[in-house]
Structure 1
Amino acid sequence: MNDQALLGLRPDLRIIADHVAAGSRALDIGCGDGALMAALRDHAGVDARGIEIDATNVASAVARGLSVVQGDADVDLVGYPSGAFDYAILSQTLQTTRAPDKVLDELLRIGAKAFVSFPNFAYWRVRASLLWGGRMPVTRTLPVAWYATPNIHHLTIDDFRAFLKERGIVTEGAWFLNGDRLTSEWAANFRAEHAVFLIRR
């Protein structure tokens, strides 16, 4: 996808958009207002569908002419047929689900491959906030106080890698972000604020 098509997308969404094959079928779970779906549709000819829990976001996505339904990743993915999509996408949503292990199973049942992005709770600024301040961190990527955050599962890059290994899930690609910039895999669990993984069975 050309650089112009990626303008305005969140950094993790830019990575995903750049690695979804043109003309493929994709389901974006927790698609927000449909920004990624619109970019995939308009610039890569992707047959993009979405599911989103927030009614206002659903209305915004539908207003863009996107095929989005209101639904909850924890309960509604079972209604999708196996192998219906080339890609299932879960961006910045895994840590908000009640049963992330089951949601990941559904992603890999529905899609041949899955993109998963999440904030890294082992990032050094998060660690420092807990160590020196003794309080749950509020950062640029975790901007909401503990009592209002939708994040109910606090995972790290190393947690996710271990989860994949235990279940025999293959990592096809992994990207690590510090702010808006890619950072190397070296010490990513300490140095990266977010991670993006491309996985398959």
Structure 2
Amino acid sequence: MNLRPDLAIIAANVAPGARVLDVGCGDGALMAALRAERQVDARGLEIDPANVAAAVARGLSVIQGDADTDLADYPADAFDYAILSQTLQTTRRPDQVLDQLLRIGRKAFVSFPNFAHWRVRLSLLWGGRMPVTRLLPLKWYETPNIHHTTIDDFRAYVRERGLTVDGAWFLSGDKLTSAAAANFRAEHAVFLLRR
């Protein structure tokens, strides 16, 4: 199955047979891959009704809901993994959503675009305007992104909260790049966290 690079990293690192909640699951591409390749028990939460319909049409267990308000309804430790891919920056209270993820799942995968990538910096420096890139394709007034974060911001958050990082992957384009200078070089980050 052809997955987005961050989703492929997540799929490769979920234990076979695990219980997974994919928050902001989109059309269910990751859930379908996990079900087919890892035999996981995957559930999804998605805000967009069209994406919910597409995921359900794939035979996936997805409900419509909002990460900002509906995660509190899930019991603690109900899942082995809670996944939040390219959704953190669209939530109203990312800190509360992360707390809920780590309450619901024993571990949490979080992926997000890095707003400190050199192309973003260059766009602001030379053009003086919010960037439009392959990973951030919408103009500032169209984007669902309301909390722009960087890899270094996220690392500081993890340290402040006393969370453990079990894995971190950094993408430049569709390829992995080293952790060295990731805040400058990586367009996208994937973290695997636990309390």
Instruction: Give the TM-score normalised by structure 1.
Output: 0.97
| 1:55-66 equivalence runs, <5 A | 55-66=49-60
Q: Corresponding residue for 2:179?
A: 185
- CA–CA distance in 1 between the matches of 2:34 and 2:141? 35
- CA–CA distance in 1 between the matches of 2:44 and 2:3? 16
Q: Corresponding residue for 1:11?
A: 5
Q: Deviations over 1:53-111 (max 9, x none)?
A: 00000000000000000000000000000000000000000000000000000000000
Q: Which runs of 5+ in 2 are unaligned?
A: none
Query: Helix, strand or coil for the counterpart of 1:98?
Result: coil
Q: Give the letter aligned to residue 37 of structure 2.
A: H
| 1:96-175 equivalence runs, <5 A | 96-175=90-169
Number of residues of Structure 1 aligned to a counterpart in Structure 2: 195
Q: Give the letter aligned to residue 105 of structure 1.
A: D
Q: Give the letter aligned to residue 75 of structure 2.
A: P
> How much has 1:43 moved relative to structure 2?
1.2
Query: Helix, strand or coil for the counterpart of 1:95?
Result: helix
Give yes or no for the alignment of 1:69 onto 2:66.
no
Query: Helix, strand or coil for the counterpart of 1:12?
Result: helix
- CA–CA distance in 2 between the matches of 1:192 and 1:93? 18
Q: Corresponding residue for 1:82?
A: 76
- CA–CA distance in 2 between the matches of 1:44 and 1:136? 39
Query: Helix, strand or coil for the counterpart of 2:53?
Result: helix
Q: Give the letter aligned to residue 38 of structure 1.
A: A
> How much has 1:49 moved relative to structure 2?
0.2
Give yes or no for the alignment of 1:36 onto 2:36.
no
> How much has 1:10 moved relative to structure 2?
0.3
Query: Helix, strand or coil for the counterpart of 1:108?
Result: helix
> How much has 1:42 moved relative to structure 2?
1.1
Supply the RMSD in Å over aligned alpha carbons.
0.4
Give yes or no for the alignment of 1:197 onto 2:191.
yes
Query: Helix, strand or coil for the counterpart of 2:77?
Result: coil
Query: Helix, strand or coil for the counterpart of 1:22?
Result: coil
Q: Give the letter aligned to residue 188 of structure 2.
A: H
Percent of aligned pairs sharing the same letter: 76
Q: Give the letter aligned to residue 89 of structure 1.
A: I
Q: Give the letter aligned to residue 24 of structure 1.
A: A
- CA–CA distance in 1 between the matches of 2:146 and 2:45? 20
- CA–CA distance in 1 between the matches of 2:57 and 2:151? 36
Query: Helix, strand or coil for the counterpart of 2:167?
Result: strand
Q: Deviations over 1:90-134 (max 9, x none)?
A: 000000000000000000000000000000000000000000000
Give yes or no for the alignment of 1:23 onto 2:33.
no
